[in-house]
Amino acid sequence: MSLLAHEADVAVVGGGLVGAAIAWGLARTGARVVVLDEGDVAFRASRGNFALVWVQSKGLGMPEYAAWTKRSSDLWGGFARELWEQTGLDVAFGRPGGFHLCLSEREVENRAAMLARLHNQPAMVRYDYEILDAARVRAMLPRVGPEVAGASYCPLDGHVNSLRLLRALHVGMQQRGAAYLADHVVETIEPRDGGFRVTTRHGEVRAGKVVLAAGNGNARLGPMVGLDVPVRPQRGQIIVTEKVAPFLDYPVVTIRQTDEGGVMIGDSVEEAGWDTRVGAGVVSAMAQRAVRMFPLLGKLNVVRTWAALRVMTPDGFPIYQQSLSSPGAFVATCHSGVTLAANHALVLAPLIANGEFPADEFDVFSPRRFDVPATA
């Protein structure tokens, strides 16, 4: 890129799934968009995620998040179709419903109690879910092992090929005129002349608005525009097997067969800072549990294991906020960049183009919720 200033209506900082979905959605409204991304060595949760579009069990403690999640799940089919029609890329979205399998009666009881608490919250969005006994699980998932004692099932759950999703968003946003600048780590953001001056090692960008969608990088960037974004990395590890003939018709929260045939296994949660190393202990525990759920997995060859970093807030819920001190600067950050991609593209981006997050719907996602002093 030249050292001349890029000019844009909106500069999106971050080219992962959150940034790319918002940039695609902004370009779709006709805005001139520039996306400033890191290089290949970025932490990039978008390339390490599990690719579920997941609804069940989300929102305990914030029913508005459950509603926001369900809304994205409902928009996902049309979103995937539009991406396919525009780019010719099939992101392999499917919503057959999803399972959370339990390996003992006690796990089933705990699961049922948790979901009852979730759905008993005042103002909880209504949707169907079921607790299934072992026989009903076996009728839908004939390959489960004898230890499976039951499950929760929600018809809104699904999955997607998230690597192809990232590619489709990048292809699609550039087809609509967005400029994508890789290896442009943002160094400073300054309010200037009613807009923003964003500097990188390779030059600067002038934009009317700026959107922080840089995942864990938002913690560093937020204060430049008066936003407090308390996010931290949280490690997850994933196993993928060789490709096999389709045998699993539904995603399970910890096991899914991709459209290409590989079986992904993963559900670990670790506080490990910025360490992305894979640990044999965690991987073997995940594999053992997966084989108890589906014994036929035991013979498959593992092709690869990896770790990636979630983008985690103190309460686990997303942050969406426009800066009060620097209006025109927005932050969007969450750990469910796949599930919420449809919302980010089709709901959030038009609001950003319009310059406002409506208070009645979005105040709940403000980081001001973390400022409440803890009671003694």
Partner 1 sequence: MFRRLPDANEATVEVTIDGRSARVRPGDTVAAALLSAGVLASRVADVSGAPRAPYCMMGVCFECLVTVDGAGNRQGCLVPVSPGMRIDTQHGKREAGR
Report, in this order, helix, strand and coil percent for the chain, each rounded to 5. Answer: 35, 25, 40
244 near partner 1, rule: CB under 8 A: yes
Name residue, tokens 């999703």.
Answer: 165
Do 367 and 227 form a contact (C-beta atoms < 8 A)? yes
66 near partner 1, rule: CB under 8 A: no
Tell the smallest beta-carbon distance from residue 244 to partner 1 (Å).
5
Element (H, E) at 322: strand 319-322
Tokens of 167: 């590619």
Smaller CB separation from partner 1, 1 or 303: 303
Name residue, tokens 């864990």.
Answer: 216
291 near partner 1, rule: CB under 8 A: no
149 near partner 1, rule: CB under 8 A: no
Q: Which of 103, 149, 278, 296 binds partner 1 (CB under 8 A)?
A: 296
Tell the smallest beta-carbon distance from residue 304 to partner 1 (Å).
14
Smaller CB separation from partner 1, 245 or 372: 245
The residue range among 125-133, 184-192, 291-299, 323-331 that interacts with partner 1, by the rule CB under 8 A, is: 291-299
Task: Using DSSP, state whether 159 is helix, strand or coil.
Answer: strand
21 contact partners, CB below 8 Å, separation of at least 6: 169, 337, 340, 341, 342, 344, 345, 349
* CA gap 190, 9 in Å, rounded: 15
Smaller CB separation from partner 1, 295 or 327: 295
The residue range among 16-24, 48-56, 111-119, 244-252 that interacts with partner 1, by the rule CB under 8 A, is: 244-252
Do 34 and 181 form a contact (C-beta atoms < 8 A)? yes
Task: Using DSSP, state whether 324 is helix, strand or coil.
Answer: coil
Element (H, E) at 169: helix 162-175
Q: DSSP assignment, residue 348?
A: I
142 near partner 1, rule: CB under 8 A: no
Smaller CB separation from partner 1, 112 or 296: 296
Smaller CB separation from partner 1, 205 or 264: 264
Q: DSSP assignment, residue 372?
A: S
Q: Which of 52, 263, 309, 348 binds partner 1 (CB under 8 A)?
A: 263
Smaller CB separation from partner 1, 63 or 295: 295
Angle between helices 17-28 and 162-175 (to 10 degrees): 30
Q: Which of 106, 143, 192, 304 binds partner 1 (CB under 8 A)?
A: 143
Smaller CB separation from partner 1, 145 or 203: 145
Smaller CB separation from partner 1, 260 or 315: 260
Q: Which of 120, 301, 325, 375 binds partner 1 (CB under 8 A)?
A: 301
261 near partner 1, rule: CB under 8 A: yes
Smaller CB separation from partner 1, 212 or 297: 297
Q: Three-state secondary structure along 123-156?
A: CCCCCCCEEEEHHHHHHHCCCCCCCCCEEEEECC
Residue type for position 66: A
292 near partner 1, rule: CB under 8 A: no
Q: Which of 84, 127, 247, 362 binds partner 1 (CB under 8 A)?
A: 247
Give how many residues touch partner 1 by CB under 8 A: 15
Q: 196-211: string of b/e by CB count within 10 Å (b at 16+)?
A: bbbebeeebbbbbbbb
The residue range among 4-12, 51-59, 241-249, 268-276 that interacts with partner 1, by the rule CB under 8 A, is: 241-249
Q: DSSP assignment, residue 29?
A: T
245 near partner 1, rule: CB under 8 A: yes
The residue range among 57-65, 87-95, 153-161, 298-306 that interacts with partner 1, by the rule CB under 8 A, is: 298-306
* CA 325 from centre of chain: 28
Beta bridge partners of 307: 237
Q: Which chain residues interact with partner 1 by CB under 8 A?
A: 143, 242-245, 247, 261, 263, 294-297, 299-301
